[in-house]
Structure 1
Amino acid sequence: KLVTTITVSRLDGVALPEKSKGVLNPYLSIRCEGEKVVSPPHKDTRSTDMDFMATFYRKNASNPIIIEVYNKNRVFDDYLSEAKIDWPGPTEDPDGSEKGDKKVYNLYGRGKEQEVMKPGNITVFIRSSDDLQML
């Protein structure tokens, strides 16, 4: 068992899909092992400081954490892109995962477009521990 805290500090350079019109109001959905945490939307911006944190209790550290980026609309929200985060990775130092790591992740599509890079990136600080008091 593992406790993982993920903080998204910044979202940069996301873009509206070609079929969409209007303003870009991005928000995040972070998913891990069947749990989901959703951020509030940020109004009319392609880049913004997010300062959004989620904590997950994980049974299987090999399952990735998925950060999805959406555009908030009045009726239907647009999926924009996502980042898959493997943490701790197979080469991570066990002590390094408790100290945490800050990385910039590129954004990709999903399904048939999972290998297609999309506009933008996210800056993430993540750390994990099997000891709840360490976080």
Structure 2
Amino acid sequence: MLRLFTDVESGCRELTEDKPRVRCWSPIIGYPQVVSHVYIHSAQGLENQDKTGGADPYVIIYCEGKSVKSPIKKDTLKPEFDVSGVFYRRKPRKPITVQIWNSNAVKDQFMGQVMLSGSVKDNKERQIMQLRKQGAQMADEMPGRILLQIVTETQLTAI
């Protein structure tokens, strides 16, 4: 038994299985081939977004239609996100996208992104990656870097 006390909503859920179940439709839609654990530590060197000279950044990890969003870090250009996600991936060649956004009352502003291959052969150590633009200008750099770690395994119970 594990009892957890917090001052805020933690979003904790009970883990009832070690890996996804094989369902009757698994042969049609596919069964996960790999599991990836993406851990976002922090960001640095972000561009000023607010009139007060700071930003209210948050990070979103996208993988095969699923996403994990961090809480908003108020008035900082060096946020400590400490957020992670575990993704069971059916299409391991499809990249994982990590985006940083600035929270605003009306419309959030895009601050940059990185694309991760999530290959089993990738470096499992912490990496500092330069933020890039999205869309057709993806090759262009944006201000800021992100510190992250990704571990991908073929054994679905390894993480």
- If the TM-score is normalised by the length of the shorter chain, which range does it land in? 0.7 to 0.9
**How far apart are the structure 2 equivalents of 1:113 and 1:49?**
27
* 1:1-135 correspondence runs (5 A): 1-16=33-48, 21-22=51-52, 23-88=54-119, 92=121, 100-135=124-159
Output one character per residue of 1:93-133: Cα deviation in whole Å (capped at 9) or x when no partner: xxx77xx3321111000123211100111111111122233
**How far apart are the structure 2 equivalents of 1:111 and 1:128?**
26
Structure 1 stretches of 4+ moved >6 Å: none
Identity of aligned residues (%): 25
Output one character per residue of 1:57-107: Cα deviation in whole Å (capped at 9) or x when no partner: 101111111001100111211111100111216xx2xxx77xx33211110
- Gaps in structure 2 of 5+ consecutive residues: 1-32
Q: Which has the higher strand share?
A: 1
SS in 2 for 1:24: coil
**How far apart are the structure 1 equivalents of 2:38 and 2:136?**
27
- Gaps in structure 1 of 5+ consecutive residues: none
Q: Which has the higher helix share?
A: 1
Output one character per residue of 1:9-66: Cα deviation in whole Å (capped at 9) or x when no partner: 111111145xx64540000111011111111110000012211101111011111110
Higher RCO (CA-CA < 8 Å; seq separation 6+): 1
Choose 1 or 2 for highest CA Rg: 2
**How far apart are the structure 2 equivalents of 1:81 and 1:30?**
12
TM-score normalized by the length of structure 2: 0.73
**How far apart are the structure 1 equivalents of 2:93 and 2:55?**
33
The number of equivalent residue pairs is: 126
Give the CA RMSD over aligned residues: 1.8
**How far apart are the structure 2 equivalents of 1:36 and 1:111?**
19
SS in 2 for 1:112: helix
